[in-house]
Structure 1
Amino acid sequence: METLQLETKVHDELRQGEAYAPFANDINGFEKKFYIESYGCQMNFSDSEIVASILNKEGFGATRNYEEADVVLINTCSIREKAEQTIRKRLTEFKRVKEQNPGMLIGVLGCMAERLKAKLLEEEKLVDIVIGPDAYRSLPGLIEEAETGQKGVNVLLSREETYADISPVRLDSNGVTAFVSIMRGCNNMCSFCVVPFTRGRERSRDAHSIVREAQDLFEKGYREVTLLGQNVDSYYWVDESVSNGSALNGAVANAVTFAKLLEMVALIHPTLRVRFSTSHPKDITEEVLRTMAKYDNICKYIHLPLQSGNTRILQLMNRTYTREWYMAKVEQIRNIIPGCGISSDVIAGFCTETEEEHQDTLLMMEFAKYDMSYMFFYSERPGTLAARRYKDDVPEEVKKRRLQEIVKLQNRLSLESNQRDIGKVFTVLIEGESKRSEMDWMGRNTQNKVVVFPKEAHRYKKGDYVQVKVNSCTQATLLGQII
């Protein structure tokens, strides 16, 4: 899986990778209340919206106050040890509240569910319900079981479940941007990653249901959708309702590739922006790049995780590409989509990484000139291929020092990238008020850069497109003025 969350913050106007609790919906008319908090990747945030929809139909309304909730749920992340430690601490806080309210139920959802179900249920007695990412439909039944004093558990993985028929409840939404899940699971066995074991095999969602969801969002006033998947470029769905499934030049006539899906969503309306996350470098095709270049409303931004700039380390990571191959992919993107924003994931201190191999990563970052990056030091995850095959032999102090060097370089690259935009005019979608001042708007341009600008006397609102000239910048934000 490509990491979808932010570890080292580089966009001060965006919240990514933080704990996420929903705004209360109208709980009048609901018999019971639920509270849900999400950690980690955007897929978890999207899953929480599916869970909210399932619970709404069972008579539960969302609340932001967990102390008044009948059911408290925490959607978990296992990508790093630090994330699990944070979640355990939070569960301990919930348990203290439960001691004053014995009727409250506490549940763990998502990636920690399968891996730590025994510890959470029996050894530490922190939760009443444990449910995996493919079992959310069974949540109402598990709640009923837990209400009788039984432990509710379902961590079974599925080869079919995509939740295509469930309309997500948009939690904490700004009413302008939304996530749309297009696939689940991952077939890439990157040696450092636990996701194939916690989210199961890859399966693609019905393309027509994706388009319907995006169309519905547009009709409700949303102006940007982000198509989500662990590896969106491997999206592949065959429309069985079309009778002609014959192959032509190796391609199935009624198959929908990711490039075709991008086009289908882009054609909903020219003012609906389309983004996607995340791409695996080995799978992003020229057809996808040509489709991006063809449609103005497909954003010119690609998250292209590197992980390491050294071929030997990439092989240990089972990334299936070389340093030279990745460089050629970056050049292809630059040639087909001039000015395309590119960001990355970088891991410092993977097993056996030498100082020279670390330098290769820094040189690759200089070559790619990433606009921003999600940066980590390696954290061994139990059950992964790396944990079974390799010794985690780089000292933590060395990992942290190498990470600091990566962060320092990326900070410079981000600032230089933003400085190159000074004097340019961008079309910006207004997402809301700036965090720093209610007198300013914030939004993003097509390259996914945050732009902040004064409201002044203009009668604009959230969801409007405006032309903004960039006058200055910080490392993380473009600062400009409506023209």
Structure 2
Amino acid sequence: GRWRELKEKRKDLIVAVGGCVAQQEGEELLRRAPYLDLVFGTHNIGRLDHLVSEVALERKRPVALGFYNDPSYMEDAGGPTRISGPKAFVTIMQGCDKVCSFCVVPYVRGREISRPSEKIIAEIDALVRQRVKEVMLLGQNVNSYGKTAPGELSFAELLRRVNEIEGLERIRFTTSHPEDLSPDLIEAYATLERLCEHLHLPVQSGSDDVLRRMRRGYSRGEYLGRIERLRDRCPRIALSTDVIVGFPGETEGEFEATLEILRQVEYDEIFAFSFSPRPQTVAAKLYRDDVPSEVKRRRLELVLELQQEISLKKNREKIGCQEEILVEGPSKLGQDRIMGRTRSNRIVNVMGSETLTGEMVGVRITGASANSLVGALLKEEYREVA
């Protein structure tokens, strides 16, 4: 309603919708919203100036939803780098070839395309010169970086190149697919000093039967084997994951298998969701959404309650330990507090001055909740609040 009112007041205003929703809905958006001028999908932000010209000069209402599977598309398709204080988010690839039965990403993001490694390295090098201390490498499945680009670096090789950039303090990445957690990538955690000891590795379910219906491409045993090898090479690794409850046909026994894998792995953090069918996906076409909503809600509550216990236990084990944090800015707790993250991605709130933003500082952990830690700065001069 607000955009329609603005359009009525300003006839020259161009109203556009872009991204995943636009890719999925397409012309239907124009039909539902007559005041809308332009719809562009996930591969078309680079054409935005041309599309706006079509609206302004030719009075058209373009719908641009094409996918560009040519690797040259990613030459300059990283998009504007997002910088958040001392951290930057750098796109290294786009799309996904896995086609999990529940996931809409391949339909709205297209096939996997990797950015040239030289472009990525140059961008990160420039960011470091702007005093960025930490980079997060982004993609729908970063582990498969380079696989569709002949002669390109593998993801582990790219990490090694990024690790060599002088002045960079920390490297993180997301998201990963367990099937592509290669021995080389596991070894990178043991050998690259700037690669943070944290990995987000979505398991989705602890049941082999559910994993098959999800078309995940691995079994429970294979997933756990990769976790075991990872922890063997990097004992300090912190793990987070995604979990879906109430997938079509999920029995109580299959759900219990998910609870059991949470107990076995003891993730530091999880992101849990109730299943809901997504248009175009295999699950929406083949399976009936037959788990009642109240059952989904109960299962989600059980998952979250269990994880709260695990997270609290693991965080309390940190009390008394010394950690290094990268200060990101003021804490949500207020009261002259600042916050930062450890290498294992734990949030730590400490008394201190905002002038420390962007600094690597040592802290001693003094308290813990399920979601964050409390600490004290180790250096006396850092404790003075400006």
Taking structure 1 as the reference length, the TM-score comes to 0.75
Q: Is the 8 A contact 2:112 2:148 kept in 1?
A: no
Residue number among 225, 237, 243 corresponding to 1:346 in the alignment: 243
Q: Secondary structure at the match of 1:374?
A: strand
CA distance in 2 between partners of 1:177 and 1:357 (Å): 40
Residue number among 202, 206, 213 corresponding to 1:316 in the alignment: 213
Residues 433 and 109 of structure 1: is their aligned pair in 2 closer, same or farther, counting only changes over 3 Å? Answer: same
Q: Secondary structure at the match of 2:180?
A: coil
Equivalent residues in 2 for 1:32-431 (5 A)? Answer: 92-125=1-34, 127-148=36-57, 149-160=59-70, 162-165=73-76, 168-170=79-81, 173-236=83-146, 254-269=151-166, 271-431=168-328
CA distance in 2 between partners of 1:255 and 1:117 (Å): 34
CA distance in 1 between partners of 2:184 and 2:371 (Å): 31
User: Which is worse superposed, 125-134 or 386-395?
Assistant: 125-134
| Per-residue deviation, residues 247-288 of structure 1 (Å, max 9, x unmatched) | xxxxxxx54110000010011026431000011011011211
Q: Secondary structure at the match of 1:325?
A: helix
Q: Is the 8 A contact 1:218 1:272 kept in 2?
A: no
Q: Is the 8 A contact 1:279 1:304 kept in 2?
A: yes
| Percent of aligned positions that are identical | 36
* Residue in structure 2 matched with residue 477 of structure 1 by the alignment: 372
* Matched residue count: 376
Structure 1 letter corresponding to 2:45: Y
Residues 297 and 166 of structure 1: is their aligned pair in 2 closer, same or farther, counting only changes over 3 Å? Answer: same
Give the drift of 1:428: 0.6
Q: Is the 8 A contact 1:351 1:394 kept in 2?
A: yes
- Alignment gaps of 5+ in structure 2: 379-386
Structure 2 letter corresponding to 1:97: L
Residues 162 and 474 of structure 1: is their aligned pair in 2 closer, same or farther, counting only changes over 3 Å? Answer: farther
CA distance in 2 between partners of 1:378 and 1:258 (Å): 31
User: Which is worse superposed, 259-268 or 459-468?
Assistant: 459-468
Structure 2 letter corresponding to 1:472: G
Q: Is the 8 A contact 1:235 1:257 kept in 2?
A: yes
Q: Secondary structure at the match of 1:256?
A: coil
| Per-residue deviation, residues 83-119 of structure 1 (Å, max 9, x unmatched) | xxxxxxxxx4322332222222211111111321222
Give the drift of 1:362: 0.5
Give the drift of 1:291: 1.2
Q: Is the 8 A contact 2:97 2:112 kept in 1?
A: yes
Q: Is the 8 A contact 2:328 2:339 kept in 1?
A: yes
* Residue in structure 1 matched with residue 384 of structure 2 by the alignment: none
Residues 399 and 238 of structure 1: is their aligned pair in 2 closer, same or farther, counting only changes over 3 Å? Answer: closer
Q: Is the 8 A contact 1:422 1:472 kept in 2?
A: yes
Give the drift of 1:440: 1.4
Give the drift of 1:305: 0.1
| Per-residue deviation, residues 116-139 of structure 1 (Å, max 9, x unmatched) | 122210233252111111111211
Give the drift of 1:167: 7.2
Give the drift of 1:398: 1.0
Q: Is the 8 A contact 1:179 1:227 kept in 2?
A: yes
CA distance in 2 between partners of 1:412 and 1:395 (Å): 26
Q: Secondary structure at the match of 1:376?
A: strand
Q: Is the 8 A contact 1:259 1:291 kept in 2?
A: yes
Q: Is the 8 A contact 2:268 2:314 kept in 1?
A: yes
Taking structure 2 as the reference length, the TM-score comes to 0.93
Return the structure number with greater relative CO, CA threshold 8 A, min gap 6.
1
Structure 2 letter corresponding to 1:131: F
Q: Is the 8 A contact 2:78 2:92 kept in 1?
A: no
CA distance in 2 between partners of 1:237 and 1:319 (Å): 18
Q: Is the 8 A contact 2:114 2:149 kept in 1?
A: no
Give the drift of 1:237: 6.2
Q: Is the 8 A contact 1:98 1:104 kept in 2?
A: yes
Q: Is the 8 A contact 1:121 1:128 kept in 2?
A: yes
CA distance in 1 between partners of 2:185 and 2:272 (Å): 26
Residues 167 and 325 of structure 1: is their aligned pair in 2 closer, same or farther, counting only changes over 3 Å? Answer: closer
